[in-house]
Amino acid sequence: MRFGAESMVAPLREVLVKGPGTAFGRAYDDPAHGFLHPVDLGEARRQHDELCGILTELGVVVDELEAETDSPDLVYVFDPALVGGRGAVLLRAGKPNRQGEETELEKWFVEHDVPVVGRIEPPATAEGGDTFWLEPGVFCIGRSLRTNRDGASQLAHLVGGQVHVFDLPYHGGPGELLHLLSVISPVAERMAVVFLPLLPVGLHELLRDLGFDLVSLPEQELPTLGCNILAVRPGVLVMAEGNPSTRRALEARGCEVHTFAATEIGINGGGGPTCLTRPILREG
């Protein structure tokens, strides 16, 4: 099978990325984008290349989305769509400037024979960062300032199977994005990095009932994307530099951790290695 990624930790075979282009380079000019400082586009491109190089060295096929829109956030390709065993589901962003990004992914899916099996219809909103597979057949959705009630309902219907919906706290409001994947990253079978102060209680209960080993993220490593970790396979991980406590905790559990500089491509725009990649195929 050429597509299907109903896991966050099964061996990653193929992934879609979008390199930073001119829209990303001028992202700071519009405060609505939420970037922290003016973008060093050259450095952002170097950091993106470093991430892609790590993935290639780990045996992942890296495809690049050759598209450029007015949205700098298209670089965070995890959010506009997801790919399951039946094909792709096109999402609809809660962040206004991101609406329409899913069209660019749809073109790529059509060109690469990935069927589109559904889409989120307005006024519903749902972003990929509010979704993850806890395990095959068990899908989690965060209801947030970016994924509304209708979006969660439509997405649950499209995905099928066992779906859990959790409310996220208001936290810092619209200006300080909190996705579900801002507070949890599955890193191996029955293991996840979590930021406990913002983890939905219902999700904590579910993880406990399933016997998950929870690696607690220290608060100082939340802004540096310590809770945004990409598993290439169980226990083989890619994360942003600058999160030493979390890295040590993972390595103490036997994980293999690869890091890349993410100051421009990640921290500035608020998206780590999971956000920067859309898995097309995972096996196992």
For residue 177, pLDDT over 90 is answered with no
In tens, the pLDDT along 58-81 reads: 999 999 999 999 999 999 999 999
In tens, the pLDDT along 138-163 reads: 999 999 999 999 999 999 999 999 99
pLDDT for 109 equals 98
The CA-atom distances, in angstroms, between 18 and each of 11, 192, 242 are 21, 26, 23
For residue 211, pLDDT over 80 is answered with yes
Measured CA to CA, the distance from residue 25 to residue 44 in angstroms comes to 9
Q: How confident is the model at residue 255 (pLDDT cuts 50, 70, 90)?
A: very high
pLDDT for 173 equals 87
For residue 35, pLDDT over 70 is answered with yes
Measured CA to CA, the distance from residue 238 to residue 259 in angstroms comes to 6
pLDDT for 158 equals 97
Q: Using alpha carbons only, how large is the chain's radius of gyration in Å?
A: 17
253 DSSP 8-state letter:
T
Measured CA to CA, the distance from residue 227 to residue 43 in angstroms comes to 23
In tens, the pLDDT along 126-138 reads: 999 999 999 989 9
Domains of the chain plus CATH, in order, are 12-181+262-282 (3.75.10.10)
Which tokens is 215 given? 């690696």
Measured CA to CA, the distance from residue 20 to residue 7 in angstroms comes to 27
What are the residue ranges of helices labelled H in 129-185?
Answer: 149-159
Give the Cβ contact number of residue 252 at 10 Å.
9
Average pLDDT, the chain: 97
Which tokens is 31 given? 């405060």
pLDDT for 174 equals 84
Farthest CA pair distance, the chain: 46
Which tokens is 136 given? 């095959």
For residue 230, pLDDT over 80 is answered with yes
Residues 178, 147 contacting (CB under 8 angstroms): no
Nearest to 3 by CA among 100, 157, 108: 108
Q: How confident is the model at residue 1 (pLDDT cuts 50, 70, 90)?
A: low
Mean per-residue pLDDT for 21-28? 97
